[in-house]
Amino acid sequence: MIAQRNVQQQQPTHAAQQPNRQRQQNQGSNTHYQYPPVDETLISQSANETRKLMANASLVLERFASSKDFDRRLMELAQQSRQAEVEQLIKSIGVKSDVKVKFNPDGLSLEFSSKLAHTKCCQLEINLRWR
């Protein structure tokens, strides 16, 4: 019985208890991988596009915050499920970016998005509750 306990206690249970040689082999498997050089161009362009999305979103938020007539009109159209007219009302604020408008009885969701070289690069989503 004593011999069996010693054998069981000597068996490693996780990686930190493995013999050094085996740990070194496991850690060394990625040492020779060559990463490609970084190119910051796309992230910089994406950031600039997102700033444009934020400017468009600010226009919309400013209108919602300052015009109860606008809010009432939009909510009435949404209540009647007049999707195209809700989208047109949002665009009438001066929004130039692509914006997907969704609504339900509880609120409104606006998803602003932009593309660079035909690839979706950035997205900004705003969710507003009205009930």
User: What does the pLDDT average to over 93-107?
Assistant: 96
The distance of Cα 27 from the centroid of its chain, to the nearest Å, equals 33
Question: Range with the lowest mean pLDDT among 29-33, 69-73, 99-103?
Answer: 29-33
What's the confidence (pLDDT) of residue 12? 47
Question: How far is CA 28 from each of CA 19, 20, 22, 33, rounded to the nearest angstrom?
Answer: 14, 12, 10, 10
What's the confidence (pLDDT) of residue 24? 47
Question: Is 0.85 topped by the overall pTM?
Answer: no
What's the confidence (pLDDT) of residue 32? 82
The H or E element that residue 87 is part of is helix 83-91
